[in-house]
Structure 1
Amino acid sequence: MQIALAPMEGLVDEILRDVLTRVGGIDWCVTEFIRVSERLLPVGSFTRLAPELACGAQTPAGTQLRVQLLGSDPACLADNAALACELGAPVIDLNFGCPAKTVNKSRGGSVLLKEPDLLHDILYAVRKSVPKQIAVTAKMRLGYDSPDGVLDCARALESGGAEQLVVHARTKRDGYKPPAHWEWIARVADTVKVPVYANGEVWCVEDWQRCREVSGVEDLMLGRGLVSRPDLARQIVAARAGEYLAPMPWSEVLGLLQAFWLQVRERLTERSAPGRLKQWLGMLARNYPEAFDLFTRIKRETDFARIDALLGMSGLAMVSQD
Structure 2
Amino acid sequence: MRLFLAPMEGLVDDLVRDLLTDVGGIDRCVTEFVRVTNGLLPPRVFHRYAPEMDQGWQTPRGIPVALQLLGSDCEQMARHAERAAALGAPQIDLNFGCPAKTVNKHRGGAVLLDDPPLMADLVSAVRGAVPSHIPVTAKIRLGYGDRSMGVACARAVEAAGAAELCVHARSKVDGYRPPAYWESIAEIRQSVGLPVIANGDVWSVDDYWRCREVTGCDQVMIGRGLIARPDLARQIRASQRGEPTTPMGWPDVVGLIQRYGERLADHVEERHVTGRLKQWVNYTRRHFPEAEAGWPSLKRHKALAPFNEALRETVRMPMAEPLGE
Answer yes or no: same fold by TM over 0.5. yes
Equivalent residue number for residue 263 of structure 1: 263
Query: What is the aligned-residue identity percentage?
Result: 53
Consecutive unaligned residues in structure 2, runs of 5 or more: 314-325
Equivalent residue number for residue 181 of structure 1: 181
Residue 95 of structure 1: SS of its match in structure 2? strand
Equivalent residue number for residue 37 of structure 1: 37
Are 2:110 and 1:81 equivalent residues in the alignment?
Answer: no
- Alignment partners' CA distance in 1, 2:41 and 2:92: 15
Output the TM-score relative to the length of structure 2.
0.92
- Alignment partners' CA distance in 1, 2:255 and 2:89: 31
Pairwise CA RMSD: 1.5
Output the TM-score relative to the length of structure 1.
0.93
Deviations 1:87-109 (A, max 9, x none): 12110000000111111110001
Consecutive unaligned residues in structure 1, runs of 5 or more: 314-322
Deviations 1:281-301 (A, max 9, x none): 111111112223344333323
Residue 110 of structure 1: SS of its match in structure 2? helix
- Conservation of the 8 A alpha-carbon contact between 2:254 and 2:312: no
Deviations 1:175-213 (A, max 9, x none): 111111111111111111111000001111111111111
Q: Which shows bigger deviation, 49-58 or 126-135?
A: 49-58
Q: Which shows bigger deviation, 208-217 or 283-292?
A: 283-292
- Alignment partners' CA distance in 2, 1:305 and 1:202: 33
Equivalent residue number for residue 97 of structure 1: 97
- Alignment partners' CA distance in 2, 1:60 and 1:82: 25
Q: Which shows bigger deviation, 270-279 or 187-196?
A: 270-279
Once the two structures are TM-superposed, the CA of residue 82 in structure 1 deviates from its matched residue by 0.6
The aligned runs of 1:308-319 (5 Å cut-off) are: 308-311=308-311
The aligned runs of 1:100-249 (5 Å cut-off) are: 100-249=100-249
Could you say if the C-alpha distance between residues 254 and 104 of structure 1 is closer, same or farther in structure 2, counting changes exceeding 3 Å? same
- Alignment partners' CA distance in 1, 2:17 and 2:296: 25
- Conservation of the 8 A alpha-carbon contact between 1:69 and 1:93: yes
Residue 262 of structure 1: SS of its match in structure 2? helix
- Alignment partners' CA distance in 2, 1:114 and 1:82: 26
Residue 60 of structure 1: SS of its match in structure 2? coil
Residue 270 of structure 2: SS of its match in structure 1? coil
- Alignment partners' CA distance in 2, 1:234 and 1:31: 21
Amino acid in structure 2 at the alignment position of 1:223: G
Could you say if the C-alpha distance between residues 311 and 158 of structure 1 is closer, same or farther in structure 2, counting changes exceeding 3 Å? same
Amino acid in structure 2 at the alignment position of 1:181: Y
- Conservation of the 8 A alpha-carbon contact between 1:264 and 1:276: no
Q: Which shows bigger deviation, 16-25 or 160-169?
A: 16-25
Amino acid in structure 1 at the alignment position of 2:33: F
Once the two structures are TM-superposed, the CA of residue 14 in structure 1 deviates from its matched residue by 1.3
Equivalent residue number for residue 272 of structure 2: 272
Residue 148 of structure 1: SS of its match in structure 2? coil
- Alignment partners' CA distance in 2, 1:300 and 1:266: 22
Residue 98 of structure 1: SS of its match in structure 2? coil
- Alignment partners' CA distance in 2, 1:123 and 1:302: 42
- Alignment partners' CA distance in 2, 1:295 and 1:227: 16
Amino acid in structure 1 at the alignment position of 2:149: G
Could you say if the C-alpha distance between residues 243 and 38 of structure 1 is closer, same or farther in structure 2, counting changes exceeding 3 Å? same
Residue 197 of structure 1: SS of its match in structure 2? strand
